[in-house]
Amino acid sequence: MFDAKRINRENFVDRLKARDERALDYVIDSYGGMIRSIVRKRLSALPNQWEECENDILLAVWNEISHFDSTKSSFSGWLAAVCRYKAIDCLRRSIKYRNELPLNYEELDCSAAPQSESCSEVREAVLDLLRELPEEDRRLFWDCYVCEKPADQLARERNIKVSALYNRLSRGRKKLRQVREVKP
């Protein structure tokens, strides 16, 4: 049985593994600033998602603490990785549930754009091309080429075979090439 010992830096991981809620309070008090900082940096464009993401992180710490190995990393290093992955999950979830592609392409790298075009013109060209595709294909292209989700994950999410996914991407690229050749 647990004695009334105080939760501290030396025992909080063991107490988390023993499902002591006070240990989670210790994590919030000691690492809450780090969690908030990582979430706000990764989800700067989605402030309405910050609190939900922070809660997802704390739930992951509670549920996944058994995967923490102090011989491989420090708790703060492990927690930082959990924060990054949960923030990425929140971002992907946000993109997935939008009805149409986001019109804010701040993340697009325009370094490869011709110098005569501005970045906004490149973004508009990308939008115009993607609008030529059906909604489901737009989402697929977004997830595959912008979010860089693996093909096997995309296929699972859509309940299709990986080969069918590649065929769909290939047909979409072909259509976009044709559209690009026709447009002046």
Structural domains of the chain sorted by starting position, each given as residue range(s) with its CATH number in brackets = 12-96 (1.10.1740.10), 119-182 (1.10.10.10)
For the ranges 42-56, 69-83, 135-149, the maximum mean pLDDT occurs at 69-83
Looking at the chain, which runs of residues are DSSP E strands? none
Residue 118: C-alpha distances to residues 11, 63, 109, 115, 181 (Å)? 56, 47, 12, 7, 21
For 120, how many CA atoms within 13 A lie in the half-sphere containing its CB? 0
- The whole-angstrom separation of Cα 141 and Cα 158 is 13
Tell whether the model's pLDDT for residue 40 goes beyond 60: yes
pTM: 0.52
Burial of residue 158 (number of CB atoms within 10 Å: 0-12, 13-18, 19+): middle
The pLDDT value given to residue 96? 60
Sign of CA dihedral 37, 42, 46, 52: negative
Across 15-29, 93-107, 139-153, the highest mean pLDDT is recorded for 15-29
DSSP classification of residue 66: G
Mean pLDDT for all residues in the chain: 80
CA distances for 122 relative to 95, 141, 157, angstroms? 21, 17, 30
pLDDT at 21 over 60: yes
Cβ density class 134-155: b for 16+ within 10 Å, e for less: eeebbbbbbbbebeebeeeebb
